[in-house]
Amino acid sequence: MARTISEDNQVKGVLQNVIFAAKDSYFKILSVSVEENDFDWDEEELIVTGTFASVKPGSTYAFFGQLVTHPRYGQQFQAARYENQVATDEKGLVAFFSSGDFAGIGKKTAEKLVDALGEGALDKILADKTVLNGLLKPKVADNLVETLTNNMGLERLFAFGHRVGLSADLAGRLFDRYGEEAQRILQEEPYELVYDVDGLPFKKVDAIARSAGFDDKSPERLKAGVFAAIQGSCFAHGHTFLTVEQARQSAQNMLGGALLEGSQDIDATLGALVAEGRLTFSEGAYQPRDLALAEQTVADKIQELSEKRSAIETTLPAIDDAFVVPDNLTLDDVQEEAVKKALSSQLFVLTGGPGTGKTTVTKTLIKTWEALVKKQAKDGGKDQDWLKEQRVRLASPTGRAAKRMTEITGYEATTIHRLLGISDGDDAEFDADNPLSGGLLVIDEASMLDSTLAATLFSAIPKTMHVVLVGDADQLPSVGPGNVLADLINSPAVDHVALQRIYRQGKGSSISTLASAINQGRLPEDFEEKQKDRSTFLTRTAQVPSAVGQVLSSAIKKGFTADQVQVLAPMYKTAAGVNALNQLAQDLFNPVKPGQKTLQYGDTVFRLGDKVLQLENDSERDIYNGDMGEVVAVHNQSDKGVSADALVVDFAGQEVWYTTKTLNQLTLAYATTIHKAQGNEFKLVILVLSSQFKIMLNQNLVYTAITRAKEALVMVGDYDAYQYAAEHEVPRRQTKLAALIAGDVRTQSQLEKPVAKRPKKPVDAKLAPAKSKATAEKGDFEKEGAKQGQQKPLKKGPESSIKPNRTENEKAMLDDTSLTVAHLTAGIDPLIGMDDLSPADFMPAVR
């Protein structure tokens, strides 16, 4: 969360130089020669940090913020905002235009410009560049406008954003996206941010819109609020759709008193969103368009794979003839069946818990595939290019899981993002028009696939490729909306084998037995008894740090390293949470040593040698949410030749730099949430559960945590928390993928229509990196969802007729927003006769 900087102080001065400028944001560190200040600063120079546009050395600026004391570098000024002190009289403007920043403009041309446009020259040029016609040559005029827009346009956006409560960082993101249109959109179409900017809460957008004059009953506000409510509920609960009643309830929770007509207002607004293409409606359910499109994309690709065959003959006789069991492995009958089904099917799902032989099956099918390819290449006289087209591709959602996949198979594996060539802010390099190469694709940890990532992956799969998804069906579902692995397992159209016999962890192992008992909804009778590979320390929440500290100290004495041990907890706060346990473990594994280099960011002090965790996807640098690494270098600004603080982190041999601006992507990793550990395994796992975490506890969560342990498991906390988790299944997710695969429901006609928007001025914008929508507000509708049967395909509701006699209020409401649930259920196409229009075109603008 961004920290709010107060404006208690201000300082005015001349910029001497830019000490540091971040490449991925507008953050800068400046050296300023002080002219005036209100906090009794006696030094000639002051270090100023903050978010700035293209500031120019030699120019005068006023900074508003607070004087702070950095633990290492002493006093600095943190700027919340700033103002360019451009002189606005004619003499100052002439000096500004003839400063050398604007090609082709000298002093005489500048005087001519100011004589013609007066003291308001800057405002006039930024508002309408045609005022320069006849005053400057076209090329000179274009350069002037572009330079002013890039510099002063962003500065003015910062200033405007400050007035409406927008942080400088977010203002910079909006400028990256909308360019010079950003301020106009904030003033005239602020609710577009709900649809365009991921991770921006509706309440923040609403506050901006209020300052721009929009009222509670604005149609644009109602639509944005209802959309944000539905999307937020989907992301909070993992659903890909909401029922009508759930959508109404979420909208009511979001907008409250603005909905005077209750469900009538909501229904009409929902209809308008469907008409605009932002939502789809079918089978009694609403879906955000992106989620509907994602599920339809996966379903369509599965249908395509079922209709095509690869260039490799994978009949059972051919497989039997080429069957290879590597490394002297032994396969049981079920594992052998899995290999043969995986090779003979275009799409296959392999599931099983830890130690059931998923790796054995994967290694065998890869070797057998290669034997098939080589034999058929030899028999058919194929060349090396053909062999390359049939190669094996391996990928996983996380970098650590991909690394483990490489180690156990001997073949290169990558993250799915890297496989697809996804870079921040850009579309995937590989897609339907430019599919992946290869003959066999194996995706590990498939339970982590959400609908959006699955759609991006499946769209890039060529129709003749064999696809094998490997995962544990009992682990937590994906963080994002969807339940892809479960939907594929439950689909008769997808071949699936579940491995159940446990081989790994040796004789007498109790970890797998514990995991199995939890999946059955109970704790085993020996839960509290010490076993060869697990033990339980029952404590109160306040005693957790002491208990965990003792376990860690013992592990360290036995030679365990930080990379081999992982502390897991469901939540961050409390004495039994991730934050407190991380500091405890850091002091034990990596205590402060004399001369040890450190770097403080917020409340966290990073030390050389620390175990750290990446918190978000950064595909530009090929690091992803959940990747773990080690701090291998600390650079302090006070060091000779160092311009700014930085950390260097080693992620499995890849060194990545973190500056002050990107350190928010990093945290300590001695303790993590269970979600963050998914896809990883550790020699020793210390699991902490407390009844304070009850809202998070369920079977899948504790099963996922327990099965991260390869050799040893220590459970700390209170018995009631473990029992509650074992007895409560994870809330089931509402998805449509299984029904789409079965052909029971189609939304294709709605998805083919483009999103209808009001005309707006051309935008020359580059896209900012997308952020998670998890910050969207939650809705409470689990009970209603349970009544609907959740993952089962929804039955189509009864045909509804539209009442011919309506009250005057109903007429006004329906005419303004065009559609209701009744229209949609009756099967009326929301865009018939309105190809270039939307309901917004018929609404009066509200300010």
Binding residues for ATP: 355-359
Give the residue numbers of the binding site.
Answer: 355-359
Are 496 and 804 a contacting pair, CB within 8 Å? no
Cβ burial 744-771 (10 Å sphere, 16+ → b, else e): ebebeebbebeebeeeeeeeebeebbee
List the one residue out of 267, 160, 163, 189 whose CA is nearest residue 846.
189
List the one residue out of 148, 85, 83, 151 whose CA is nearest residue 117.
148
Query: How does DSSP assign 319-352, residue by residue?
Result: HHHH---GGG----HHHHHHHHHHHH-SEEEEEE
At how many degrees (to 10) do helices 358-380 and 333-344 cross?
50
Are 671 and 644 a contacting pair, CB within 8 Å? no
CA torsion through residues 590, 594, 596, 598, sign: positive
- Taken as a whole, the chain contains a residue count of 847
The alpha carbon of 191 is separated from its chain's Cα centroid by a whole number of angstroms, namely 21
Cβ burial 452-483 (10 Å sphere, 16+ → b, else e): bbbbbbbbbbbebbbbbbbbbbbbbbbbbbbb
- Looking at residue 763, what DSSP letter applies? -
What gap in Å lies between CA 411 and CA 393, rounded to an integer?
A: 8
Q: Which two tokens stand for residue 155?
A: 């500065």
Tokens 């896809």 correspond to: 679
What gap in Å lies between CA 833 and CA 590, rounded to an integer?
A: 68
Q: What residue type is assigned to position 358 of the chain?
A: K
Q: Which two tokens stand for residue 533?
A: 């590979």
Kindly report the number of other CB atoms within 10 A of residue 89's CB atom.
10
Kindly report the number of other CB atoms within 10 A of residue 412's CB atom.
12
What gap in Å lies between CA 208 and CA 163, rounded to an integer?
A: 9
Are 97 and 105 a contacting pair, CB within 8 Å? yes
